[in-house]
Structure formats: C-alpha cells, structure tokens
Structure 1
C-alpha cells in the first residue's frame, strides 16, 4: 500500500524541482527525502523520478501518483476539518494565512481579532510573505489563505487551480514634500516632478516597476530613483526628511502621512487590487477566515481612514511597509 506521507514528499519534489529544495521546505535532510522516495518507488514497483542535470522530473508513473496525491491530501484535509467541526460543534481547526505587510496590518490583523470572538475554535497562524512565494505553499497545503496585491497594468500570474477573490481596489497616490511648488494643486501633473529625487522599493519589485512605468507613461521622464527600500515607512520618511517623491497606495496612507502632500496624478488614476487566494475547496474553518478577511477589507478604506477623504493631508503616523 502506498504511504500518504511519501506521496506528499513526491509532490514536494515535483513542485520544487530538486530533492534539496523539498527537504529544506519540509525540514528534512536531502538524504532522508531520497530514502523515503526510494521506498515509494519500491512500493510502486516502477521509477518515479529521473534526474535532469541538477533538477529532477517525474516519470509518467510519477505524474500519475502526484495527481492522485493531490486529491488524497485534499480529501484528508477535508476529513480532518469535518471531524474537528463535528467535535467542536462549529468551524474549527488551524488556518494558515500569508499576506503582504500593509494588508497584514489593515486587513488580516482586524480579521483575526474578529475571529477570536466569532470563531474561537479556529486558530489562525499568519505570516508575512509575497504572493509569488506563498502561492506554491498554498498548493502544497502549507498555507490555506494568501492575500496578495496586483498593480494596475502589471497582472500577476494566473493560478487557474486556485480560487481568487478580489477584496478591494485602492488608488496609488503621489506623495511629495509640502514645500514643492506643485504641492498646492488638487491634482499634480507627474511631469512637474521630473527634476525631483524619487524613493521606491527595490529593483525587481512590483512597486518599483509601477513607479518607473507611471513616470514614463504619465510624466514622460525617467525617474531619478536615489533611494530604495521595501519598507514604505522608510519611503515616507525620505519624502519628509530629504524631499523625495514617491507613489504609495491607500492602505499605507490611510494610517497617516504627516508633513507631506498626498495627491492624485493629474494625468489619470493608478490603482492596485488586493486579492485573496485559497484552494478551490474551502473547509469550514478556511471559509470562516476568508469571510472575516473579506469583511475587514470592506471597512479598511472607509471614509475617515482613506486619504481620499482627506485630499490635502492624512494625520497620524503609518506603521506598515507594503
């Protein structure tokens, strides 16, 4: 009889392409994984992996087993969730959530607080992670819910095997020093910021790509990006202290941006969508967490919190990065 644990190892190796990467992800040594896979091949009576350079790929028999392993693991998860629900008399179990940081603070944390009252038998474990790293872990049942972001004009990869739900769309706003000549305008032409230094996230990030694209497409210039950090608080500090400009989303600015001017671009709007990913089949506990996240997202940018209701300046100090 095939062992479900070994089938999971096979699926990890298939997803991560190397035995070493799968072992690291699961907390095993590569030799331990190799030994377990050798046992699985003896159980199956046929080779399941073949080496291609430093990577490995599944044989046809290995592909068949991985397909069935996914169904079996989904069924096992559903069975465990149903047993926990029956035992508790309501939704119960552990739900693992990953989110980028500004949504973690404004959406996930309030959702967890609500769930403590509405679903006390659901244990939420949350971690900060970007969607590119989190989506594979979602498939492998290492995560259950992923909250990600997608800048307008920069679509994320389509995950046809996962369920995507858009939570909110927020504006991306120009943040500039109050001393800048354009700061008094209700909407600022991006072209008027061609001679100012810019602060942005690190090269290769969606935020950096968005900021460069906006300056090129709306302003007609290549931005002078002198300051780089993936921490939005640092970017805001750079606007305040060294007079840089930046493009930042509502979820960050809604928590306050003292001493700077927050404006929409005059040439047109720029947006970001915050979305949620789960596996296609949601257990009662995952459905409860997804519902709480959806509800928290619905109030995260209500008037009074969003800079759209305070076009000149937001008050307070931000505490999120992304």
Structure 2
C-alpha cells in the first residue's frame, strides 16, 4: 500500500521541480524526501521520477499517481473531519493559516484573543503569503485556510474544483493627512480633483496600493507629485505626520493614527474583496467554522459595524460597486 507521506512528497516534488524545494516546503531534509520517493517506487514497482537538468520530472507512472493524489488526501481529510464531528465537534488541533500581511494585521490579529478564549484546544499557526502563494498552499495541503484578496477590486479569479471560498470583508483606501494639511479642511468625501497639486508618499510600483494610487490619479486626469516610495505603511504615516506629504492607505493596513493624523474618505474609494479559502473536503472542520464565525463578527477592521453576512461560494461584489465599475471601467 502507498504511504501517505510518500504520496505527499511526490506531489511536492511535482509542484516544485526539485527534491530540495520539496524538502523546504514539507519541513524535511532532501535526503528524507529522496528516501520517501524511493520507498514509493518500491511500493508501485516502477520509477516515478526522472532527472531533468538540475531538477526532476515525473514519469508517466508518477504523473498518474499525482493526478490521483487529491482524491486520496480529500478522503483522508473527510475521515478526520467526520471523526471530530461525531465526537463533541469542538475545534482542536492545529489550523495552519496563510494570509497576506494586512489581513493578518487587520482581520486575524483582532480575533485571535476571542478565538483562544472560545477554543482553548485550537492552535492557530499564521504564515504571511501573497494570495497566489496562499492558494497554492491550501491546494497542496501545506495550509488549511487562507485569506486572499482580489487585488484590484474586480471579481475574483476562478478556483480549482477542490477549493471553496467565502467573502469575509471589503477593504477600502482612504487618504491620510496631517491635521494641518489643506486637505484636512475640505469637506469629505474627497473628489479626485482635490488630490492634485499635493506631494505624496505611496507604495512602490508592482503593489496593489500603487495600482490603486495610479488609478486614482488617472481618473482625476492629473499627474501626481510622488516624493517617496515606501512599502511599510507605518513609515508612510511617519512621513505624513511630518506634514509635507499625504498617503493612500488601506484600512486593513492602518494602525491607530494618533492625534496628529486624520483619514479622509474618498468619493470613489479604491477597494478589494477579501475571501477565506479552504479545501472542500474540510467543509465540516470545526476549526474552520470557528474561525469563519469570528471573522464575521464586527471588529476594529470594520469600524465596529457588522459585516455583510457570510455568503456561500464566490460571493460577488456589492451591486453598488458593480454599477460603479460599469459606469467607470478600470
């Protein structure tokens, strides 16, 4: 019979291309992964890997095994969840969570104390990963749950059939200024035209927040005066507090502003939808259900206002935002 550990090792090698990378992903040594692969080859009686340059590729037999692996892992996961659900259904064990940094700060960190109080036998392990990497981790079984965003305020990309998602939050961007800045005296929400003629600090090109910033000025028909490119939002706010620049900051990324700063909402704020993602085979997981319930409660990231009820799979953008996108294509 094929061992589960050997099957998991082969799937990691197939996804990453080398024994060393698979070992890093699984937390083993390359030698241990090699031994698992050799044991698998003895069990099935044929080679499953072939050398290819500095890496390896699957043989046809190896590919056939990898193609069948998801069914095996999903069945095992359902067995574990069934065992938990027929006991007392209490969340326990370890839940491995992958999430982008501002979701950890703005969504997960606030709920961890409540989760620890309500589920004392549940251990949550957080790993910061970009959405694409987090989706891969959940699909590959190295994470159990992920928080991802749609990056640009558009409809989320399709998921593989093995995964499911649920909307948990809509994040929007505000302009942050010092209380002595001219923008602080204007009536809110601010229109795009009011933003021209001021100096800015913004996130570097290639980030979602920089895309937000460029689109904001494209709609305003003006070229921004960018003085500083800084990836860390706390550093951005330190520069804003000096009174010379302003910043566009997502609410999830925003620490307490203190007395010298003020956030000004925009008439047409940039936004992104945040979704929770997990494997369909873990649908009955008490741990996942407990985390979803905590994320649904009002908290600091939502301004104390109850969030939209958790919908089932692939909740769309709100109707008002879809209509806005139709009137003003991005």
TM-score, normalization by structure 2: 0.79
Q: 1:233 is matched with which residue?
A: 234
SS in 2 for 1:265: coil
**Residues 1:290 and 1:178: Cα distance change in structure 2 (over 3 Å):** same
1:165 is aligned to 2:137:
no
Shift of 1:168: 1.8
Contact 1:144 1:279 in 2 (8 A): yes
Q: 1:276 is matched with which residue?
A: 276
TM-score, normalization by structure 1: 0.80
Looking at structure 2, the residues matched to 250 and 145 of structure 1 have their Cα atoms a distance apart, in angstroms, of 23
Contact 2:196 2:222 in 1 (8 A): yes
1:126 is aligned to 2:129:
no
Contact 2:154 2:272 in 1 (8 A): no
Q: 1:312 is matched with which residue?
A: none
Looking at structure 1, the residues matched to 35 and 171 of structure 2 have their Cα atoms a distance apart, in angstroms, of 50
SS in 2 for 1:169: strand
Q: 1:13 is matched with which residue?
A: 13
Shift of 1:249: 1.9
Contact 2:153 2:272 in 1 (8 A): no
Looking at structure 2, the residues matched to 298 and 75 of structure 1 have their Cα atoms a distance apart, in angstroms, of 38
Shift of 1:10: 0.6
**Residues 1:211 and 1:152: Cα distance change in structure 2 (over 3 Å):** same
Q: 1:316 is matched with which residue?
A: none
SS in 1 for 2:150: strand
Contact 2:106 2:300 in 1 (8 A): no
- When structure 1 is superposed on structure 2, of 280-289 and 54-63 the one drifting more is 54-63
Q: 1:108 is matched with which residue?
A: 108
Q: 2:74 is matched with which residue?
A: 74
SS in 2 for 1:202: coil
Looking at structure 1, the residues matched to 13 and 27 of structure 2 have their Cα atoms a distance apart, in angstroms, of 13
Q: 1:30 is matched with which residue?
A: 30
Shift of 1:238: 1.3
Contact 2:175 2:264 in 1 (8 A): yes
Q: 2:303 is matched with which residue?
A: 301
Q: 2:249 is matched with which residue?
A: 248
Number of matched pairs:
302
Shift of 1:66: 1.5
Which runs of 5 or more residues in structure 1 are unaligned? Answer: 305-322
Contact 1:96 1:124 in 2 (8 A): yes
**Residues 1:31 and 1:202: Cα distance change in structure 2 (over 3 Å):** farther
**Residues 1:83 and 1:153: Cα distance change in structure 2 (over 3 Å):** closer
Shift of 1:88: 5.6
SS in 1 for 2:174: strand
Looking at structure 1, the residues matched to 114 and 123 of structure 2 have their Cα atoms a distance apart, in angstroms, of 12
Which runs of 5 or more residues in structure 2 are unaligned? Answer: 307-330
Contact 1:151 1:210 in 2 (8 A): no
Q: 2:214 is matched with which residue?
A: 212
**Residues 1:107 and 1:45: Cα distance change in structure 2 (over 3 Å):** same
Cα deviations across residues 73-132 of structure 1 (Å, max 9, x unaligned)? 222233334445556663322212233333323322333322233333322222333323
**Residues 1:32 and 1:69: Cα distance change in structure 2 (over 3 Å):** same
Contact 2:106 2:301 in 1 (8 A): no
